[in-house]
A and B are shown apart, each in its own frame.
Chain A
Amino acid sequence: DTAVSQTPKYLVTQMGNDKSIKCEQNLGHDTMYWYKQDSKKFLKIMFSYNNKELIINETVPNRFSPKSPDKAHLNLHINSLELGDSAVYFCASSQEGMTGRAGGPTDTQYFGPGTRLTVL
């Protein structure tokens, strides 16, 4: 039944390691996103994909690489983890993509439960 799911929910790792977070949506949406929520609860877009094509890359370091094997999945791989990468990472999806006019209900983005990443 879960609409947008992420694994793992918690990730604790050492600095310098490489890790991945997986996201899947069963809503049939065309667009998926990664957001980062910092320790002050501020949410910021990192990436968006529309039908497996990268649309937004919001000045995220090259160590972060999203991969979309199909439109229902968007994974986030992080190389050489740093202390500052500690945050909650949210995956989201929406029906409308870049081709749509903003201001329609299909813009609504549905979020996964989040992955709390702690880098030691």
Chain B
Amino acid sequence: AQKITQTQPGMFVQEKEAVTLDCTYDTSDPSYGLFWYKQPSSGEMIFLIYQGSYDQQNATEGRYSLNFQKARKSANLVISASQLGDSAMYFCAMREGRGTDKLIFGTGTRLQVFP
């Protein structure tokens, strides 16, 4: 079974609008971390935002916020006031607390922001 599912292969949004990128995860571990990364066309992986399984509040970092719904096992990324520079691939990832450091990635969502 997929541990991280991103069901939107591609999304379009108009500049200055908000957009939500979906991510659902599957784990039976009570301790885990959820991450979003951005990969622009230049190829680097840029860390955006983190949410811990024990965090009571949704994480926010500037224009990025994470809509964390633990019971539904979803961790959607919300980008407010989209900019042209937000056009990129976005990856959701999870680290489980089973004595392993590895990040498990979703398949990514390609976001295109148009003027």
State the A residues within 8 Å of B (CB): 31, 33, 35, 40-45, 48, 50, 55-56, 58, 88, 90, 92, 94, 96-98, 101-105, 107-114, 116
Instruction: Give B40 Cβ to nearest chain A Cβ, in Å.
Output: 11
Task: Please tell me the size bucket of the interface on B.
Answer: 20 to 34
Q: Which of B39, B96, B100, B107 contacts A98 (CB 8 A)?
A: B100
B47 is an interface residue with CB less than 8 A from chain A: yes
Chain B residues with a Cβ under 8 A of chain A: 29, 31-33, 35, 37, 39, 43-47, 50, 52-55, 89, 91, 93, 95-105, 107-108
Summed over the interface, the residue pairs from A and B with CB atoms below 8 Å come to a total of 89
Give the residue of B39, B47, B101, B104 whose beta carbon is less than 8 angstroms from that of A110: B47
Known contacts A41-B89, A44-B105, A110-B47; A103 and B31 CB within 8 A of each other = yes
Most chain B beta-carbon neighbours within 10 Å: one of A35, A58, A101: A101
- Which A residues are CB-close (under 8 A) to B107? 40-42
What would be 16 A-B contacts, judged by CB atoms less than 8 Å apart? A35-B103, A55-B101, A56-B102, A58-B102, A98-B100, A102-B96, A103-B97, A105-B52, A107-B95, A108-B33, A108-B50, A109-B47, A110-B47, A111-B47, A112-B44, A114-B45
CA distance A108 to B48 in the complex (A): 10
Known A42-B107, A44-B105, A104-B52: A98·B99 in contact at CB below 8 Å: yes
Query: What's the nearest-Cβ distance from chain A to residue B90, in Å?
Result: 11
Complex Cα distance A109/B93, Å? 11
The distance in angstroms between the C-alpha atoms of A98 and B102, with both chains bound, is 9
Q: In the bound complex, do residue B100 and residue A103 qualify as a contact, i.e. CB atoms below 8 Å apart?
A: no
